[in-house]
Structure 1
């Protein structure tokens, strides 16, 4: 499909809208569950936001999984781009939609706050007893485990292996919040950190919540696809680096047949389709 056809496609804009709405709902759940009771400061038990975001991810996966993949996270989207599962146009539109949805979600919740000062609890912050480097490392690690889980679930689904995919991803998000919450807030999602920062104007150590999740996500996607996936192979890695057709390499690896046979079959099918079109 050409760029012009993609932009005119209803399916494409449905997917972008799904990412926007999904991010809005996700951020509202994450921020709403992080708000403290009166007189409590910003100290909220981690289990509260961890369960909220985990349950929300499971629900949104069922709502938007078949439409856009329910990524709702620029780091996840960039990991799919790095492994050539998304093109640049869809990646850019998804990220714009995710950031817009996150900002709208934070803004809507801000308007409902009786005390606007409580909005400071929205923002992911580096622990005062730690430093930005430690927070960055935690964001890399917890995002790595989240995105590795997402790619594993997608690999199982592609091979039609029955398993509770959305539940596994939701539990992975909850585990990340519980693990990194005391160090960095357990964001794992640049859009989730960007929305509150725009609304409150608090940008301290904001770079941590972009570099950490993106680095962890891309490393997870590449390591899974080219080393741990059922279709992983040296030929597939070379195909990615040289911008060749990865699907042909995946088919060859999955069927354990020779690459030349698969390539010839694919070329014959394309030639037949071209003749039929003519």
Structure 2
């Protein structure tokens, strides 16, 4: 009954729409900057990293007070495991984020040549292997989640600057660190969208494993906290 009542509320769907639109905008900017980066250098991750960081700062300011501007199923899942978000909203947000990312990818698939779209799929770099890519994705996503949890800590009194800046810097840092090896996605929705549209699933498991590893760390932390 509680779930049915929640699904009937306009506020619930407003939150879902915010996550869909926010993720659509984020992935659109990331893919667009990646297209430009390919023209400069096939190994250049600076443009997508800066674009992603700037966009996250903007979107957190725009949607932060509405849905929290999570824009990332990995972060949403971590918040659910940490009991900062209920399961219903977490599942709805994750689906909304994947839908937004897929719509953004479909937009590029329609507007850009197929050869360019195929380059936007998250892949393991030829300079590394799948294990190295997974390790870099885990680290990049962990430092992003760590930053978000630190910014969201209500007990801190030293936070005077907007939290969106720290989160944006963390996204850029993670993308620059992992970009040369794994693509620096840190976002299963960003990886899922292009893969779903192009049908290229090579090494997509690395993104899913990275999400699972992050959830395991969060669960271990909260189990220890509940025991103590």
Determine if the TM-score, normalized by the shorter chain, exceeds 0.5: yes
The answer (yes or no) to whether the contact 2:43–2:180 under 8 Å persists in 1 is no
- Unaligned residue ranges in structure 2 (runs of 5+): none
Q: Counterparts in 2 of 1:90-129, with a 5 A limit?
A: 90-113=89-112, 115-129=113-127
The answer (yes or no) to whether the contact 1:34–1:44 under 8 Å persists in 2 is no
Q: Give the CA deviation at 1:162.
A: 2.2
Q: Secondary structure at the match of 1:66?
A: coil
Counterpart of 1:75? 74
Higher Rg: 1
In structure 2, relative to structure 1, the CA distance for the partners of 1:133 and 1:123 (3 Å cut) is same
Q: Give the CA deviation at 1:216.
A: 2.8
Task: Summarize deviations over 1:109-132 as a string: whole Å, max 9, x none.
Answer: 22221x221111211110113211
Q: Counterparts in 2 of 1:28-177, with a 5 A limit?
A: 28-36=28-36, 40=39, 43-113=42-112, 115-156=113-154, 161-177=159-175
State how far apart, in whole Å, the 2-side matches of 1:205 and 1:187 are: 13
State how far apart, in whole Å, the 2-side matches of 1:186 and 1:154 are: 23
In structure 2, relative to structure 1, the CA distance for the partners of 1:60 and 1:41 (3 Å cut) is closer
Return the structure number with greater relative CO, CA threshold 8 A, min gap 6. 2
In structure 2, relative to structure 1, the CA distance for the partners of 1:181 and 1:37 (3 Å cut) is closer
Counterpart of 1:249? none
State how far apart, in whole Å, the 1-side matches of 2:219 and 2:13 are: 25
TM-score (norm: length of structure 2): 0.92
Task: Summarize deviations over 1:197-248 as a string: whole Å, max 9, x none.
Answer: 011111001010111134236526864x78xxxxxxx6x5239xxxxxxxxx
State how far apart, in whole Å, the 1-side matches of 2:220 and 2:160 are: 24
- Unaligned residue ranges in structure 1 (runs of 5+): 227-233, 240-278
TM-score (norm: length of structure 1): 0.76
Q: Return structure 1 stretches of 4+ with deviation > 3 angstroms.
A: 156-161, 220-223
Counterpart of 2:227? 238
Q: Give the CA deviation at 1:85.
A: 1.2
The answer (yes or no) to whether the contact 1:54–1:170 under 8 Å persists in 2 is yes
Q: Give the CA deviation at 1:171.
A: 0.4
Q: Secondary structure at the match of 2:153?
A: helix
Q: Give the CA deviation at 1:44.
A: 4.9
In structure 2, relative to structure 1, the CA distance for the partners of 1:164 and 1:41 (3 Å cut) is closer
The answer (yes or no) to whether the contact 2:138–2:210 under 8 Å persists in 1 is yes
Q: Give the CA deviation at 1:18.
A: 0.6
Counterpart of 1:20? 20
Q: Secondary structure at the match of 2:34?
A: coil
RMSD of aligned C-alpha atoms?
A: 2.3
